[in-house]
């Protein structure tokens, strides 16, 4: 049976954005826990780097996939900056939402959201705001902005567009080989 190469064709490209940073990646206690460099957040025009980095953490906690590096979540969250620039209502929604999460985190765990070390504990905080407009809007946007990234599809064994490859008639549409004989 023809399997799909999980590495995909694009794994190098997404790491090339942003300037090389002088700060070593392994900064410890004050780190947001987000890998690679944070230059992408400094490029934002409207939302603060801290807000954006919190949103990326929230995004991963909403749809956690351990085999996906941060860049996929960053790609999914980045467009909120442009939306916030165009609409002050969006800016307020996101900043108030993140502010509320950070306050809940301080109350419960004595640190801001991104510094709560265990995912399970952060999920408790998200459950607390599950019915807010902030959470609903972020999640419903994320289900498209995350899973609609073509670069991510091979990781889930999905091959995307097919017609230009002649369909699957010669590419294993019926090559399953482990079923019992009927």
Q: Does 179 bind another protein (CB under 8 A)?
A: yes
CA separation, residue 141 to residues 54, 74, 133, 147, 160 (Å): 16, 13, 12, 10, 21
Which residue number, 111 or 143, has a Cβ lying nearer to another protein?
Answer: 143
How many residues contact another protein, by CB under 8 A?
42
Q: Smallest distance, Å, CB 137 to another protein?
A: 13
Please answer whether residues 97 and 129 qualify as being in contact, where contact means their C-beta atoms are separated by less than 8 angstroms: yes
Which residue number, 49 or 128, has a Cβ lying nearer to another protein?
Answer: 128
The three-point CA angle 150-153-154 to 5° equals: 120
Q: At what angle do helices 49-62 and 79-86 cross, to 10 degrees?
A: 120
* Long-range Cβ contacts of 36-43 (<8 Å, 24+ apart): 36/69, 36/70, 36/71, 40/74, 40/78, 43/18
Among 8, 44, 63, 112, binds another protein (CB under 8 A): 63
Q: Smallest distance, Å, CB 175 to another protein?
A: 7
Distance CA 117, CA 125 (A): 13
The burial class, CB within 10 Å (0-12 / 13-18 / 19+), for 41 is buried
Q: Does 69 bind another protein (CB under 8 A)?
A: no
Q: Smallest distance, Å, CB 81 to another protein?
A: 21
Q: Does 76 bind another protein (CB under 8 A)?
A: no
Q: Does 15 bind another protein (CB under 8 A)?
A: no
Site for another protein in 97-156 (CB under 8 A): 123, 126, 139, 143-144, 146-148, 153, 156
> Which positions lie near another protein, rule CB under 8 A?
1-4, 61-65, 67, 123, 126, 139, 143-144, 146-148, 153, 156-164, 166-169, 171-176, 178-180, 182
């Amino acid at each position: 049976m023809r399997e799909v190469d999980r590495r995909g064709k694009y794994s190098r490209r997404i790491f090339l954005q942003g300037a090389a940073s002088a700060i070593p990646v392994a900064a410890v206690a004050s780190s947001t826990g987000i890998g690679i460099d944070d230059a992408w957040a400094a490029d934002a025009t409207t939302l603060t780097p801290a807000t954006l980095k919190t949103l990326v953490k929230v995004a991963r906690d909403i749809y956690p996939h351990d085999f996906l590096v941060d860049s996929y979540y960053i790609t999914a969250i980045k467009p909120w900056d442009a939306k916030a620039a165009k609409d002050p209502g969006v800016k307020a929604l996101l900043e108030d939402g993140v502010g509320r999460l950070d306050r809940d985190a301080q109350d419960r765990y004595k640190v801001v959201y991104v510094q709560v070390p265990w995912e399970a504990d952060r999920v408790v905080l998200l459950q607390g705001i599950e019915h807010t407009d902030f959470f609903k809007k972020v999640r419903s946007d994320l289900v498209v902005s995350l899973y609609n990234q073509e670069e991510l599809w091979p990781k889930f064994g999905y091959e995307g567009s097919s017609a230009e490859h002649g369909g699957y008639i010669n590419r294993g549409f019926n090559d399953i080989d482990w079923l019992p004989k009927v």
